[in-house]
Structure 1
Amino acid sequence: MLHLLLPLLLLISNVVPSQSDIVESLPGFPGDLPFKLETGYVGVGELEEVQLFYYFIESERSPKDDPLLLWLTGGPGCSALSGLLFEIGPLRFDYSNSSGNRPVLRLNPYSWTKIANIIFLDAPVGTGFSYATTWTASNKTDTSSAAQTYEFLRKWLMSHPKFLINPLYISGDSYSGVIVPIIVKEVYDGNEAGREPPMNLKGYVLGNPVTCEVKDISQRIPYGHKTALISDELYESTKTDCNGDYVNVDPTNGACLADLEMVSICLEKIYLGQILEPKCSIITPNHTRLEWSRSILEENIIDVVSMPQQSRPWCRSYNYLYSYIWANDRNVREALNVREGTKPEWDRCNYSLAYTKDVLNSVVYHKYLSKTSLRALIYSGDHDLALPYVGTLEWIRSLNLTLLGPWSPWFVDGQVAGYSILYSENSKYDLTFTTIKGGGHTAPEYKPKECFAMIDRWFDYYPL
């Protein structure tokens, strides 16, 4: 009997109660933080073997009235800290004043926390500072991760009841395009079933979202044609020879393979994240010609560090070096109240997760949600080759919603900031799709001012 009880006792001994702490200052930022930052863990799953780490920042305007956002960065496995520091959070690295191992932080004038309360969550387990106390708890799927995030949100709101009345939006970008609609359905169904606590769910926000990886990647070819990266002749030949499927290619279809090799030659030197920016030499020269179709985005930080400074152009991914230096500093971890010994190293994106993608197309969740009274905002940087806007617009059109207006420009400081279109279903559900002119993957990192204007207007039910 003892040998049966021992594993259970070990599990129980590993359970750590949820905790939260207020962070008043951070290494690299001068003085006290001018906003309220809380960090902590919430235990989820059986015996709470999964400890999800979060950063919560209260709205700098009116915490009791402004929306509450749950934010998930993509990947799967990219830390919420990346979204906080490089996209929509109140802090940025001050590159001009940072040097070597001394990253300096500054305020972001276009932080979404100026108008919203935001929970930045490290999910799924293994992301950022989140960790599991057992091996089996480390294994996750799309659906199980979404269920644990829903459990996190319920527990977090029960411990922060004053935010239960705030309008709630589930949000994220990139691979979160698969997870967020599942979570929204969980919250909506939970409310309908009377689960506690009741949540004031209003809608969801997705940026440059993955929906169906195979279709998303295939859209790089039509997008490359639209942006003059692929010629008319090659595009028409590829479309015909490959029957419109550029990923699941018949190995005996020599004409299609030949076309795709030419496509690879055209695209292989283009940076997927933003087609106008330089591509870093972080992939070995021995990769195959069909490399373009392998993944959404890849990054190898070791190769970036080892390259001689004088031999490389500036590349956006070099900005991420400071996040590795900063987040792995002992003083920073202590300031953030990270539990010692739980994560040996912080990664901006952990691609070694024990993770199974069991939702191959999340459109079915959008179709379900389109029958509700929720609202959705979908935005895409129009220079993103990793997840081209044309693919996002295609699945939105497949929902067969009612078009409420024409494709129209919207403006920031008198300049075109993007183009938007509004859809509805039975005068209840509405979906706004917009491009961010000049934006990449993901848009707020490239166009923070325009994205701030977008979210500010949308939250207030104003036209973009």
Structure 2
Amino acid sequence: MAPSPSPSIFGHPSHRNLRLLTSFTDILKLVLYLILFLVPKQPVVSQSIIKNLPGFPGNLPFKLETGYVGVGYLEEVQLFYYFIESERSPKDDPLLLWLTGGPGCSALSALFYEIGPLTFNYANSSGNSPQLLINPYSWTKVANIIFLDAPVGTGFSYAKTSVGYNIGDLTSASQTYEFLRKWHLDHPKFLSNPLYVSGDSYSGMTVPIIVQIIYNGIKEGDVPLMNIKGYVLGNPFTDVKTDLNSRIIFAHREGLLSKQLYESTKINCKGEYMRPDTNNSLCMGDLEVVNKVNIILISRAWKKYICLKCWNQSVVHSLPKPIGHPSFLQGEHSMDVHLSTPQLLGQWCRVNVLSSNYNYLWSYIWANDQTVQKALNVREGTIKEWERCNSSFSSTYVHDIITSIDYQRNLTRITTYRALIYSGDHDMVIPYVGTQEWIESLGLSLSNDWEPWFVDGQTAGYNLMYSLKKYSLTYVTVKARGAGHTAPEYRPKECLAMIDRWFAYYPL
């Protein structure tokens, strides 16, 4: 909140001049607003309604819009989005902005593999012809969703100049806020819908910043005024030290590390596994043993999830770097948490515990098809190749912050927002034990203690609620026979029930 004006200033005989100056400043702001938002050299928002997509038979049974919004200096950054209206009540249901993690993972990854209305028909797909089918557990059943390719360089988003690709946490958050303002100006009928800024994995770093910027903008009178009600974070990477150190704790709890090895590592490393003292020979020795143990255990575990009978028998895949290995906790890729799950390097398919195929291969084939890009109205020649997660971000993206806890703590003090944080209970990338630790550090009051929640009479996980004045935070674990990184990919039915109940202010 801006400080109150000094009485001595407003009591001065020249206060009329001050008011004139303020009026002139307001006029100047209005002129700049008109220049930036209403009369750009090119349309700020270009959009298309998509009625058909390659691989899907007939017309789409939902409203899909794709487009670009120009942001940044002279709109040199063009952010691509997919907007899908709620299949229930577009004018009443919440509006979600969804940011996939990475950083640099495409919105299509969330749309196809997590919370979107389409997925791949693996049984009927072959060669270069991926087929699509409806996801019965899409969050668009209960919400309007903007799937945004952000930061620039993600998915189909691009920059007109090389300088435009200089991106980091703070720049990306600022550009996303600009995107939201311009998108709302072009879609005024959604201004009254409850807005939730949402995302998973690495978005745990940027979403709280965006929410803070929106809050500040409302206080400063930025137009249009958004009806923000809160934020949603799934399997969120929030604090470098807490989240990455918790991998060792989680590995022990899951039986991957013996009690003796865990206790020795904990004592010798003094609880610091992410950036251990390399001169501490006892600590480094323990971490080396942890590394060897996990190479074997994780490799065995992932064999259960690898289907060796894909159409290319020379299966090439990468396993996650073992927990406890110094390079895993310290290396240049340690911040790219969405990339630390097994990534596609060849033709393979991953199978979850219910034998539902999740094959990232099809998304590469489908999204790089020129017919598909034409159907989506992707601008020709703007990207070299679509990637599910942009690998170049490992060396080019600027990690401005190492924790978003301070932003979240500030939101608990100054807002009346709602927050939903959920974790897959078998997520080894961002373990729930670290998420619980930083939530407890916010200093909130416990409203509802740890209790199970159910879907179809079965335990789907556990939840608890915190509050501070009118701010509330609901924390949920998604269990249901194991959910990894990220939860909706593994347990879509349970996650749809979770988000539907939370939006409706129902107890889980």
TM-score (ref. length: structure 2)? 0.83
Alpha-carbon displacement from aligned partner over 1:66-97 (angstroms, at most 9, x marks no partner):
00000000000000010000000000101111
Partner of 1:155: 182
> Per-residue deviation at 1:262?
1.4
Partner of 1:432: 474
* 2:445 is aligned with 1:398: no
Distance 2:264 2:250 in 1: 15
Distance 1:282 1:317 in 2: 16
> Per-residue deviation at 1:217?
1.3
Partner of 2:111: 84
What SS class does the counterpart of residue 304 from structure 1 fall into? coil
> Per-residue deviation at 1:277?
4.9
> Per-residue deviation at 1:212?
1.6
Kept in 1: contact 2:242–2:437 (CA 8 A): no
Kept in 1: contact 2:341–2:485 (CA 8 A): no
Partner of 1:339: 379
Distance 1:14 1:350 in 2: 30
Partner of 1:324: 364
AA matched with 1:130: S
Distance 2:239 2:230 in 1: 21
Partner of 1:239: 266
Partner of 1:365: 407
Distance 2:302 2:243 in 1: 16
Judging changes above 3 Å, is the alpha-carbon distance between structure 1 residues 269 and 199 closer, same or farther for their aligned structure 2 residues? farther
Partner of 1:59: 86
Partner of 2:504: 460
Partner of 2:166: 139
Q: Which residue of 317, 324, 343 corresponds with 1:282?
A: 317
AA matched with 1:188: Y
Partner of 2:20: none
TM superposition outliers: structure 1 runs of 4+ over 6 Å: 13-16, 284-288, 315-318
Alpha-carbon displacement from aligned partner over 1:292-340 (angstroms, at most 9, x marks no partner):
42433336867423xxx7xx98689970000000000011000000000
Partner of 2:425: 382
Partner of 1:6: none
* 2:67 is aligned with 1:40: yes
Alpha-carbon displacement from aligned partner over 1:162-213 (angstroms, at most 9, x marks no partner):
0000000000000000010000001111111111000100000000000122
Distance 1:270 1:75 in 2: 25
Distance 1:239 1:277 in 2: 30
What SS class does the counterpart of residue 22 from structure 1 fall into? strand
Distance 1:344 1:300 in 2: 24
Q: Report the identity percentage.
A: 60
Which runs of 5 or more structure 2 residues have no equivalent in the other structure? Answer: 1-39, 307-314
Kept in 1: contact 2:453–2:463 (CA 8 A): yes
Distance 1:16 1:341 in 2: 19
1:169-248 matched pairs, under 5 angstroms? 169-248=196-275
What SS class does the counterpart of residue 65 from structure 2 fall into? strand
Judging changes above 3 Å, is the alpha-carbon distance between structure 1 residues 19 and 408 closer, same or farther for their aligned structure 2 residues? same
Judging changes above 3 Å, is the alpha-carbon distance between structure 1 residues 85 and 283 closer, same or farther for their aligned structure 2 residues? closer
* 2:156 is aligned with 1:129: yes
AA matched with 2:371: N
What SS class does the counterpart of residue 463 from structure 2 fall into? strand
Partner of 2:26: none
Distance 2:486 2:303 in 1: 14
What SS class does the counterpart of residue 448 from structure 2 fall into? coil
Judging changes above 3 Å, is the alpha-carbon distance between structure 1 residues 14 and 348 closer, same or farther for their aligned structure 2 residues? farther
Kept in 2: contact 1:28–1:103 (CA 8 A): yes
Partner of 2:311: none
Q: Which has the larger radius of gyration?
A: 2
Kept in 2: contact 1:87–1:444 (CA 8 A): yes
What SS class does the counterpart of residue 256 from structure 1 fall into? helix
Kept in 1: contact 2:245–2:274 (CA 8 A): yes
TM-score (ref. length: structure 1)? 0.91
Alpha-carbon displacement from aligned partner over 1:366-395 (angstroms, at most 9, x marks no partner):
001101100000000000001000000000
Which runs of 5 or more structure 1 residues have no equivalent in the other structure? Answer: 1-12
Distance 1:85 1:284 in 2: 22
Q: Which residue of 454, 457, 460 corresponds with 1:414?
A: 457
> Per-residue deviation at 1:281?
6.1
Q: For the aligned residues, what is the CA RMSD? A: 2.4
Judging changes above 3 Å, is the alpha-carbon distance between structure 1 residues 120 and 286 closer, same or farther for their aligned structure 2 residues? closer
What SS class does the counterpart of residue 416 from structure 1 fall into? strand
Partner of 1:96: 123
Q: How many residues align?
A: 445
Alpha-carbon displacement from aligned partner over 1:19-73 (angstroms, at most 9, x marks no partner):
0000000000000000000000000001000000000000000000000000000
What SS class does the counterpart of residue 162 from structure 1 fall into? helix
> Per-residue deviation at 1:126?
0.2
Kept in 1: contact 2:45–2:182 (CA 8 A): no
Judging changes above 3 Å, is the alpha-carbon distance between structure 1 residues 67 and 16 closer, same or farther for their aligned structure 2 residues? closer
> Per-residue deviation at 1:355?
1.2
Distance 2:320 2:139 in 1: 40
Partner of 1:105: 132
Distance 1:139 1:78 in 2: 17
* 2:58 is aligned with 1:31: yes
Distance 1:181 1:286 in 2: 28
Distance 1:322 1:284 in 2: 20
What SS class does the counterpart of residue 87 from structure 2 fall into? coil
